[in-house]
A = this chain, B = another copy of it.
Amino acid sequence: MRLRHKPWAEDKLNEFPQYAIGNPEFYKGKWTTAFEKEQPLHIEIGSGKGRFITEMAKAHPDINYIGIEVYKSVIVSALDQLIEVDLPNVKLLNIDASDLGKFFEKNDVDRIYLNFSDPWPKTRHEKRRLTYKTFLDIYKHILKDNGEIHFKTDNQNLFEYSLMSFSLYGLLLKFISLDLHNSGFEGNIMTEYEEKFSNRGNRIYRCEVKY
């Protein structure tokens, strides 16, 4: 997505620590204490403007959610949504995915969502793809045993790459749809990007894999 620089974004995030966690190192190993209720934790890596994570939080009050987004100028849009609706079961976190291991411990997370991750199409950028093996290591490190990754994208090459990467890593492919919006899959919550690109006729690919 194109980024518009918002110099005031950092101040705004600091202004709302009840939504945008400013001290994630404090919660390492005890993330349930950041929420009202002790219930499973699902995180979205690359949560963008936050539509997916806030809609999921509304639809599933029995799950705690954290939306993780590296760009301050993007995550503030998600913050605006939380300021408006005040959901008790969703928080935002402005960190880089490669730093997840600093702020989460084994068993902290029940499920990871990857939605329309940057495809990094050049071979020399393979290591930046969020389904590259070093990221799968990090996810393993913070997920519970049998924890799951739920991944969707409209990028065919990224999806092909990711299926091979998951297989090579030994993950179990529990579910796959090669055309999500024509599959009868229920309960799909669209991201901003998903709505835009599926309206242009792009297929959406989706899979669930288990450690």
Which A residues have a C-beta under 8 Å from some C-beta of B? 156, 159-160, 163-164, 167-168, 172-179, 205
Chain B residues whose CB sits within 8 angstroms of the CB of A156 once the complex forms: 178-179
> How many copies of this kind of chain does the complex include?
2
Q: Is the CB of B178 within 8 A of A173?
A: no
Bound complex: CA A103 to CA B205 (Å): 40
Interface residues of A, dominant DSSP: mixed
Tell me, rounded to whole Å, the shortest Cβ–Cβ distance linking A161 to chain B.
Answer: 9
Q: Is the CB of B178 within 8 A of A159?
A: yes
Q: Is the CB of B176 within 8 A of A160?
A: yes
Asked if A167 meets B173 with Cβ closer than 8 Å, knowing A178-B178, A205-B178, the reply is yes
Bound complex: CA A205 to CA B177 (Å): 13
Q: Is the CB of A168 within 8 A of B172?
A: yes
Chain B residues whose CB sits within 8 angstroms of the CB of A172 once the complex forms: 167-168
Bound complex: CA A204 to CA B153 (Å): 19
A164, A167, A173, A174: which has the most chain B beta carbons within 10 Å?
A: A167
Q: List 20 A-B contacts (CB under 8 A).
A: A156-B178, A156-B179, A159-B178, A160-B176, A160-B177, A160-B178, A163-B163, A163-B173, A163-B176, A164-B173, A164-B174, A164-B175, A164-B176, A167-B167, A167-B172, A167-B173, A168-B172, A168-B173, A178-B178, A178-B205
